[in-house]
Structure 1
Amino acid sequence: MVVMTAEEQRVREPEPDLHSMARIQLRPIASPMPLGFFMVGIASAVTSSLQLGLIDGAHRQAVALTVFSAFVLQLLVSVLAFGARDVIAATLMGGFAGAWLANGLVSATDAGGGARVLGVMNLAFTVFAALMASVARPKKALWLLLLIATPRYFTAGLYGVTGEAWLGRLTGALGMLLAAVAMYAAYALMLEELRGREVLPIGRSGPAHLAMHAGLAGQLRGLETQAGVRRSL
Structure 2
Amino acid sequence: MAASESAEPAEPESEKAVRSDTPAVRIGLRPMASPAPLGFAALAVATLLLSLLQLDVLSYGDGSHVSMAFITFSFPLQLIACLLAFLARDGVVATATGILGATWLATGVIRLTLPVGTVTSPTLGVLMLAAAIVLFVPVAAGAESGKLLSSVVLLTAAVHFLFTAGYEITGAELWSAVAGVVGLVVFVLGLYAALALLLEDVCKRTVLPVFRRSVDGTSMGGDVRDAQGGVESEAGVRERL
**Structure-1 residue corresponding to 2:169:** 161
Pairwise CA distance, 1:12 = 7.7
CA 1:199/1:17 → structure 2, altered by over 3 Å: closer, same or farther?
A: farther
Residue 13 of structure 1 and its aligned partner are, at CA, apart by: 6.8
Question: 8 Å contact 2:41–2:191 — kept in the other structure?
Answer: yes
* Secondary structure in structure 1 of the residue aligned to 2:121: helix
8 Å CA contact 1:61–1:109 kept in 2: the answer is no
Q: 1:14 to 1:135 in 2, by over 3 A?
A: same
Offset from partner CA, 1:95-133 (integer Å, 9 cap, x none): 100110010111122269871001011111121122322
Partner of 1:183: 191
Within-5 A mapping of 1:95-106: 95-106=99-110
> Could you tell me how far apart the structure 2 residues matched to 1:202 and 1:13 are?
49
In the TM superposition, what is the alpha-carbon distance from 1:16 to its structure 2 partner?
A: 2.5
Query: Which of the pair has more CA radius of gyration?
Result: 2
Matched, 1:63 2:69: no
1:31: which partner in 2? 34
Q: Root-mean-square deviation (CA), in Å?
A: 2.0
Structure 2 residue runs of 5 or longer lacking an equivalent are: 1-13
**46, 51, 54: which is aligned to 1:51?**
54
Q: How many residues align?
A: 223
> 2:177 and 2:198 mapped to 1: Cα distance?
32
Residues 126-147 of structure 1 deviation map (CA, whole Å, 9 limit, x = unaligned): 2112232222121121111023
8 Å contact 1:62–1:108 — kept in the other structure?
no
CA offsets, 1:173-199, max 9 Å, x none? 111110010001101111111211111
Cα distance in 1 between the residues matched to 2:22 and 2:33 = 28
Which of 12, 20, 24 is equivalent to 1:21? 24
Report the more deviating stretch, 172-181 or 130-139: 130-139
Secondary structure of 1:15's aligned partner: helix
Distance 2:195 2:69 in 1: 22
Paired letter, 2:82: S
Kept in 1: contact 2:199–2:206 (CA 8 A): yes
Q: TM-score, normalised by structure 2?
A: 0.87
Indicate which of 138, 141, 146 corresponds to 1:135. Answer: 141
Mapped partners of 2:23, 2:227: distance in 1: 19
Q: Distance in 2 between matches of 1:99 and 1:75?
A: 11
> How far apart are 1:65 and its partner, in Å?
0.1
1:152-184: CA deviation from partner (whole Å, max 9, x where unpaired): 111111111111011011111111110010001
| Residue in structure 1 matched with residue 126 of structure 2 by the alignment | 120
- Partner Cα distance (2:142, 2:233) in 1: 21
- Percentage of matched positions with identical amino acids: 31
Structure 1 unpaired stretches of 5+: 1-10
Q: TM-score if structure 1 supplies the norm length?
A: 0.90
Q: Sort the Cα spacing of 1:176 and 1:20 in 2 relative to 1 into closer, same or farther, 3 A.
A: same
2:212 aligns with one of 204, 226, 233: 204
Cα distance in 1 between the residues matched to 2:179 and 2:17: 65
